[in-house]
Amino acid sequence: MRVIDHFIDGEYTSSLSGRQFEKRSPVDNSLVARISEGGQPEVDAAVAAARRALTGEWGRLTLDQRVELLYGVANEITRRFDDFVAAEMADTGQPQHVMKHAFIPRGAANFKVFADVIKNVANESFQTPTPDGRGALNYTLRVPKGVIGVVCPWNAPFLLMTWKVGPALACGNTVVVKPSEETPLTAALLGEVMNAVGVPRGVYNVVNGFGPDSAGAFLTAHPGVNAITFTGETRTGEVIMQAAAKGMRDVSFELGGKNAAIVFADADFDAAVDGVFRSCFLNSGQVCLGTERVYVERPLFERFVQALKVRAEAVKYGRPEDHATTYGPLISHEHRRKVLGYYQRAVEEGATVVTGGGVPDMPADLAGGAWVQPTIWTGLPESAAVVREEIFGPCCHIRPFDSEAEVTALANDNEYGLSTTIWTQDLARAHRMAAAIEVGITWVNAWFLRDLRTAFGGSKQSGIGREGGVHSLEFYTELRNVCVKL
Ligand code: NAD
Ligand code: 6OD
């Protein structure tokens, strides 16, 4: 059986305790690999290696040399594209077209773009008048923060891990990554890439394990970690923030969402149906930016609900390697229990189930997988749990609205504030609403269209801080001001 070890100080190592846990396939529950389970000794070793690397060969590289190494990482990911696609499919069970066209190319881009950003960013300077008339010059130095703890979720593992590791390394830091226990494969594979291109030992480290009382908690509490970047559930973020308070460590958090899609009657109908279908059901709804609340202007409501139903009922379940497959399973049986709990709750709360609501009939070889049907509800009040709480599954509630003011208030009436999507041909209205809706990211006539130079992050309980472009530099570096009296 394949064993996935930690990657510490440039080497794959098992745990001192010898403990391992199982990674099972979401597709059929078969055993994918056994994973070394890290504890305090592995976290200590990884943090120590990362600290040594800060002042070793890595710390002495010129900016140009560091940037060249990161281009090398991006190129090596592209050269080993098929290996990364296969690893991510084994971890998540999602169809290969999602991996090939969206998630894996982003891994390479996350290294290349931030190498470009760090190379081209200017530092600020001020000329300061002084009483003697000679003046002073202030300028900033940008220095790495140190060792960055990177705690990752399972829903788009390679994209989300490299979205943190790329800028962290571009800025000259070193990292210790704690991948999700559900998806350890691509983080492990990236170690091979680092060694192949000559990234010095200790710059990139991975410790596998769980969250509480395990590698995640040990890493975030470790005094040798200077800052923590975390993507995951809001409740987990609260726990990590408490750990980060000890030692005054900085945090960057990308958390949950309960995002609204808003469709006006003047929208390009086919584009809106296609966009909302993707935002609800891509990756089986396991996308933080996905839309679980859909508001449709009343004249379009019935037609839109029917069109989305047709699309949802046309998904092709299957193995990720099969070209015909368009729709995969949930990540695990544990997550399926949560999602099915909400499916039942919707019925109890009085929803009209437009489609789905349960487990599909699957052939015998796939029956052990964590499959659920894409599900659409109508008819619920805004107070219903499935309308208020993040489900993180392939489901949405659709409600009609009558005015811009009404739908703006509906969109804002939630504790989360990650993203929103507006479908309309009236761009003046779109601009007005984008300013009024309390989220970090608004898309107009698009969804998940990314430019990595833009600010990315959530408002309200969807996150703390912004990453992307120079905003990532604000988290992964510290500015030092130098004042020179002339
Ligand atoms: P999660 O919070 O359960 O786990 C995320 C990571 O945190 C895992 O590696 C886990 O082992 C670790 N962890 C758990 N408890 C911990 C603790 N006490 N201390 C340290 N580490 C701990 O999240 P998940 O279920 O893996 O991911 C799904 C969630 O992530 C959803 O809420 C989704 O919205 C969110 N998400 C947000 C974004 C964004 O950009 N805002 C992106 C992707 C996912
Ligand atoms: O595109 C990104 O940079 C990003 N962080 C996407 C998050 C997707 C959430 O599932």
CA distance 42 to 420: 40
Residues of the chain with pLDDT > 70, as a percent, come to 100
- Residue 450 CA: nearest ligand 2 atom is 1
CA distance 221 to 239: 10
The predicted pLDDT at position 267 comes to: 98
Does the structure show a pLDDT above 90 at 1? Answer: no
Mean local confidence (pLDDT), 68-89: 98
Residues of the chain with pLDDT > 90, as a percent, come to 100
Q: What is the DSSP letter of 199?
A: P
- Ligand 1 pocket check: which of 110, 151, 152, 251 to mutate, most ligand atoms within 8 Å of Cβ? 151
Given 3-state DSSP classes, what are the helix, strand and coil percentages for the chain, each rounded to the nearest 5?
40, 25, 35
Kindly report the pTM of this predicted structure. 0.98
pLDDT digits (tens, 9 = 90+) for 99-134: 999 999 999 999 999 999 999 999 999 999 999 999
Does the structure show a pLDDT above 90 at 33? Answer: yes
Clarify whether 280 is annotated catalytic: no
Clarify whether 254 is annotated catalytic: yes
- Ligand 1 pocket check: which of 233, 415, 448 to mutate, most ligand atoms within 8 Å of Cβ? 233
CA distance 45 to 10: 12
Confidence band for 156, pLDDT divided at 50, 70 and 90: very high
Q: Are 228 and 220 in contact (CB under 8 A)?
A: yes
Task: Please pick, among 37, 42, 88, 254, the residue that the annotation labels catalytic.
Answer: 254
Nearest ligand atom owner, CA of 177: 1
* First-to-last C-alpha distance (Å) of the chain: 68
The predicted pLDDT at position 429 comes to: 98
pLDDT digits (tens, 9 = 90+) for 183-228: 999 999 999 999 999 999 999 999 999 999 999 999 999 999 999 9
The CB of 155 under 6 Å from ligand 2? The reply is yes
The predicted pLDDT at position 127 comes to: 98
Mean pLDDT score of the chain = 98
Does the structure show a pLDDT above 90 at 372? Answer: yes
